[in-house]
Structure 1
Amino acid sequence: MSQENLLSRQDQLKSVDIGEGFEFVFRPVKAAPRNYVSQSDMVLADVGILEAGLDAEKEGFLAVCIDTMSDSGVSALRSVLSIPVIGPGRTSMLIAMSLGSKFSIITMWKKWFHLYEKTINDLGIRSSLASIRSIDVTPDNQALLEGKEEEIFPLLETAAKKAIDQDNAEVIILGSTTMHQAHSFLSSRLPVPIINPGPLTYKKAELLLSSGLSHSRNGYPTSPVDKSIMLKAMLNTASDFDH
């Protein structure tokens, strides 16, 4: 990940008020798929994110927020960390259900639908889904939406309006943390809550830390064998390749 891309992702912090005493550090993975469209992509994403967060607790971090709606690496990291590990996919959908009876997901392209379908099926919340709508534009995970605002934002607005008017959506979820630049535009033009997934995880981290809560060890048991050395060696090698 380039420094420019990292800064674009850090810009998500500007859309929420971070509580006093909280600091968020953004860390890229050593290897990741360009876009999450296949099962092999998902495996690589899981392993890359697992390795990136492996030592978070030892380094003194108090929580880990994953910056992808696929929630890649969340379950794996919960099995090795005691601190909260938060994914925007589940977080966004569960919050959406508390804000309205039906939610829709607005995303860049149909090849991401499987990400949302998996989470919806895992949670058993199909009845709360109004629709998933795509604007059929190949995403740019490096530049994000920078420089494409005049082209992309109106398309997202049109898709969201259809979700509201035709699918009866009462809440809209942005389908990727890479779409965060469109949040304020859509929020000012649409009559329903618009969930910005990345920043929502930052606030959830604050909530869990303030409440003294983390994931259940019964739900995410640890492995009897430490695999950290192997994982680091694998990802150090993988970082030399174009993914």
Structure 2
Amino acid sequence: MSRTGSRGPTVLVVNVNTTEAVTEVIRRSAVAAASPGTEVVALTPRFGPASVQSNVESHLSAVGVLDRVTTYEGPFDAVVHAGFGETGREALQDVLEVPVVDITEAAAHTACLLGRTYGVVTSLDRTAPAIRDRLLLAGLERRCSGVRSVDLPVLELEADPELTAKAFAQQAQRCVDEDGAEVVVLGCAGMAGVHAAVAAALPVPVVDGVAAAVRLAESLVALGLGTSKVRSYAPPEPGRVLGWPLRPAPG
């Protein structure tokens, strides 16, 4: 799957929902962050939820993401899992040797390099527990000062970018003033389009997970590092799951 040669790396950036407009927002953010010569390929799952706002949708999304990446036919050097607080990154690591970078962990790791504490601002309050769980699993929750939300569904974030940026900036400022955050993380891949406006309104660094993940993926490729295949992410034994890989239903 990995491409070799003198050209820059190819990074697959996979949306966790099936909404093409969200994939395009993610793609633009990834391209803006990528180094010259890096090829960004944005992928949308063939099936799954239009937006991920519940546990059941998150788990269904993980299967859709796994299917989309494993059926991609071109060579690639790294994968960015563009779902904040979502499941599925580990499954990709099981089946791939190239680096797989999740935007939740990439954003939090980056924030920890910039300040002692960081706060997260996400779209819906119901997704905050899942975000905390992902940070806890990654060993990054201890430095998180809090997770706040603007209570805007993911698919409404692009409807009025100015209003969205204002709502996120207000909650981000509360992270700083009330929670003691020294850095703010935008906890939604769909927020990539208003990152600049939110950052301009705050006195602290603001981290976009898509941008951070792309840069980290590039760094891992440049260092010649890939996913460890010992223990946790050892390849799954073939033929143990009925009906996988997915195939078209009989006509």
Seen in structure 2, the aligned counterparts of structure 1 residues 85 and 199 have a Cα distance that, compared at 3 Å, is same
Q: 1:152 to 1:89 in 2, by over 3 A?
A: same
Matched, 1:221 2:231: no
Residue type at the aligned position of 2:153: T
Structure 1 residue 91 corresponds to structure 2 residue 103: no
Report % sequence identity. Answer: 22
Shift in CA distance, 33/96, structure 1 to aligned 2, threshold 3 Å: same
- 1:170 and 2:182 equivalent? yes
In structure 2, what is the equivalent of residue 232 of structure 1? 246
TM-score by length of 2: 0.84
Identify the residue that residue 7 of structure 1 maps to in structure 2. 24
The one-letter code of the counterpart of 1:170 is E
Q: Which moved more, 1:28-37 or 1:175-184?
A: 28-37
Stretches of structure 1 that go unaligned for 5 or more consecutive residues are: 238-243
Q: How does 1:10-89 map to 2 (within 5 A)?
A: 10-16=27-33, 18-56=34-72, 59-89=74-104
Q: Could you tell me which residue of structure 1 aligns to residue 150 of structure 2?
A: 135
The aligned residue for residue 241 of structure 1 is none
Q: CA deviation at 1:231?
A: 2.6
Superposed CA RMSD in Å reads: 2.1
Distance in structure 1 (CA, Å) of the matches to 2:131 and 2:21: 28
Specify every segment of 5 or more residues in structure 2 that has no aligned partner in the other structure, as ranges.
1-17
Q: Mapping of 1:192-231 within 5 angstroms?
A: 192-218=204-230, 219-226=232-239, 230-231=244-245
* Alpha-carbon distance, 1:229 to partner: 7.0
Match of 2:9 in 1: none
Q: Could you say which structure has the higher strand fraction?
A: 2
Q: Tell me if the contact between 1:66 and 1:72 (Cα under 8 Å) persists in the aligned partners.
A: no
Question: What number of residue pairs does the alignment pair up?
Answer: 230
CA gap 1:123/1:230 in 2 versus in 1, 3 angstroms = closer
Q: What's the offset of the Cα at 1:25?
A: 0.7
1:225–1:125 Cα change, 3 Å: same
Distance in 2, Cα, partners of 1:178 & 1:171: 19
Aligned-partner SS, 1:172: strand
How far does the alpha carbon of each residue in 1:76-101 deviate from its partner, in whole angstroms, 9 at most, with x for none?
Answer: 11111111111101111122112111
- Structure 1 distance, partners of 2:31, 2:62, is 27
SS in 1 for 2:246: helix
Do the aligned residues in 2 keep the contact of 1:133 with 1:159 (CA within 8 Å)?
yes
User: SS of the residue aligned with 2:127?
Assistant: helix
Match of 2:160 among 128, 139, 148: 148
How big is the shift at 1:2? 5.7
1:5-64: CA deviation from partner (whole Å, max 9, x where unpaired) = 443332213542x223310111110112233333321220111111111145x6311111
Aligned residue for 1:12, secondary structure, equals helix
